[in-house]
Amino acid sequence: MPELPEVETIKRTLSPLLKGRLIKEIKVGLGKLLLPGEKEFIARVAGRRFLDLKRKGKYLICLLSGGTAVIVHFRLTGQLIYVNGQKPLPPHTHLRFFLDRGELLYVDLRQFGRLEALAAKDLKDHPQLKELGPEPFALNERDFYGLLQKSSRPLKALLLDQKVISGLGNIYVDESLFRAGLHPKRPGKELSLPEASRLLAVIKEILAEAISDGGSSVRNYVDGQGQRGRFQEKHRVYGRRGKPCPRCGQTLAYTKIAQRGTHFCPACQK
DNA sequence: GGGCTCCTGGAT
DNA sequence: ATCCAGGAGCCC
């Protein structure tokens, strides 16, 4: 589910609601979501306050009092939703964090997401976070060109690889390659510097637009207040297989690359 | 690198 | 009944 713009939106919507809040009690419906384990997670987190929220790639990082941190990875269908007042719980609510004001729910239809409690000082040594490549916003044209030059893998696979560049997922890779006019199967090392520069520019542009539109809600995604995003209305290729290309009118194609459904225009993307 | 796996549910 | 889904860890 959430890619960089969605996690950023979750962070922005939850921050004002959670900062300073005390976690009074945690009710666990599905303990396998918790690392290093249910008991240890509760021991580390219960009784702490939210101090700040950060984002790294597609990871949300909650900094708590007492030098504690919680890393949230939503995978495909995870949601963190703040509620205040008694409404019926959403289906697939697996965790409830009772706060001194309101409640934070972790909801996850497919149960792939994970929440990990650890000492904040250990964040820098975390095996997944440590391996993340640079964020698009932190890259310049030369560095990005250098990253692509190192591999003959298809652009689609390269951009999805969080160790190469962090934050992009299936939607934003397909949308970026379309706007850049690049075929998803093009090997990275074949790109010229101008092509790489253009690709990086459209990636930054699309991510910024998607953030300002509150992310893309294709099916499940909602922000920290349960609101859907609006950027899906601006998708030009993702989820539009068989429809006419918005640029040239030719039928949009669909194929599998790196085991992921891939949408593109066979005429516009070379 | 590419397959399989973890899950539930919607579309066809 | 079958395929597909905003992800990525683990296995050759």
* DSSP collapsed to 3 states, A195-263: HHHHHHHHHHHHHHHHHHCCCCCCCCCCCCCCCCCCHHHHCCCCCCCCCECCCCCCECEEEEECCEEEE
CA separation for the pair A162, A180 (Å, rounded): 20
Q: Is the pLDDT of residue A1 over 80?
A: no
Distance A46 CA to C12 C1' (A): 41
Is A110 annotated among the ligand-binding residues? Answer: yes
* Contact call for residues A70 and A97 (beta carbons, < 8 A): no
Determine whether A3 is an active site residue.
yes
Domains of chain A: 4-131 (3.20.190.10), 136-218+233-264 (1.10.8.50)
Judge if the beta carbon of A151 is closer than 7 A to nucleic acid strand B.
yes
What whole-number distance in Å separates Cα of residue A46 and Cα of residue A39?
A: 11
If you average pLDDT over residues A112-132, what whole number do you get? 97
Q: Which two tokens stand for residue A113?
A: 């997401």
Amino acid, res. A183? H
- B10 closest protein residue (CA to C1'): A219
Q: Using one digit for the tens of pLDDT, what is the confidence trace for A194-250?
A: 999 999 999 999 999 999 999 999 999 999 999 999 999 999 999 999 999 999 999
Calculate mean pLDDT across residues A70-74. 98
Coil, strand or helix: which one is A157?
helix
The two structure tokens encoding residue A178 = 């379309």
Which of the four pLDDT bands, split at 50, 70 and 90, describes residue A29?
A: very high
The arrangement of strands across the sheet holding A68-73 comes to A34-35, A114-119, A68-73, A59-64, A50-56
The per-residue DSSP string of A170-199 comes to HHHHHHHHHHHT--TTSBGGG--HHHHHHH
CA→C1' distance for A162 and C8 (Å): 9
Protein CA A121 to sugar C1' C4 (Å):
41
- For chain A, what is the mean pLDDT? 97
Q: What six digits make up the tokens of A94?
A: 């697996």
> Measured from the CB, is A218 under 7 Å from any atom of strand B?
no
Mean pLDDT in residue range A127-145? 96
Q: In Å, what is the separation between the CA of A262 and the C1' of C2?
A: 20
Q: In terms of Cα–Cα distance, which of A83, A78, A93 is closest to A7?
A: A78
- pLDDT (mean) for A64-92: 97
pLDDT for A86 equals: 87
Active-site position among A75, A90, A260, A266:
A260
CB distance A26 to A95 below 8 Å: yes
3-state secondary structure of A33: helix
Is strand B in 7 Å reach of the CB of A32?
A: yes
Residue in A58, A153, A156, A179 annotated catalytic: A58
Strand B nucleotides where any atom sits below 7 Å of a protein CB: 1-9
3-state secondary structure of A114: strand
Query: For residue A21, how far is the Cα from the chain centroid?
Result: 24
pLDDT tens-place string over residues A7-26: 999 999 999 999 999 999 99
SS3 of residue A69 by DSSP? strand
